[in-house]
Amino acid sequence: MPAFAESVLVGAFQLVFWGAVLMCAVAATVLAVRHHSTPDPAVRAPDPVFWDVFMGSTVAIPAILIPTLAAPWSGAVLAVLGAGAGVAAYRGSPRIMAWHSRLRQRRQDQPVYTAAQAEHDTLLARWSRYELDPACCIDYPAMTDVRSPETSALIKAMREAEQLRAERHQGYAPAVERFGRALTAAERAAGIPAAAD
């Protein structure tokens, strides 16, 4: 009886192990094939797709055959697990590929975002002196008077840039440029000499 229990335990362990290997191999193969196959024939490269299928097969086929030699019923269980993993990977691949695309785009946009942050900080420091420096408040009251159209546009542009910065939105860099133009226009309308910038 202990030998039988031991063989069942070993068989269950092998089934779990090979099932995990098979599911990972099938899911990775489906995701790789979906990633490398594009609807545009000019971009499509058949070689990566072939090699994706070939490499996935070299893992998936032995993962089914080895346990099947030990227990024929395990082949059917593994085939069902593999098919389920393939269907799940196929259905989930658009979300995974979209997430991967967003991640890649964020990495590409990082230098632009960092430069926009530095420019934004410089513009905020330039703007803050009109609010915090009493001499600037007295000399240039139009810079804090939101009844002025230029100052009102400046405040709107500043809020937009702040909001997009908090969201790490891809429109952040253009918003910082608009903020800079609005600040320059407000300073010009308030009669601030160019040397004061």
Tell me the pLDDT tens digit for each residue of 85-131.
888 888 888 888 888 888 887 788 788 888 999 999 999 999 999 88
Break the chain into its structural domains and give their ranges.
2-95, 105-196
pLDDT of 160 higher than 90: yes
Q: What is the pLDDT of residue 3?
A: 58
Residues with Cβ within 8 Å of 54's Cβ and at least 6 positions away in sequence, in order, are none
N-terminal to C-terminal alpha carbon distance within the chain = 90
Q: pLDDT confidence of 195, banded at 50, 70, 90? A: very low
d(CA 29, CA 2): 40
Q: Which of 7-21, 65-79, 113-127 has the highest mean pLDDT?
A: 113-127
* Residue of 121, 100, 111 lying closest to 165 (CA atoms): 121
Asked if residues 9 and 43 have their Cβ atoms less than 8 Å apart, the reply is no
Proportion of the chain in helix, strand, coil states, percent, rounded to 5: 85, 0, 15
Q: What is the residue-averaged pLDDT of the chain?
A: 81
d(CA 35, CA 57): 17
Q: What is the pTM of this model?
A: 0.53
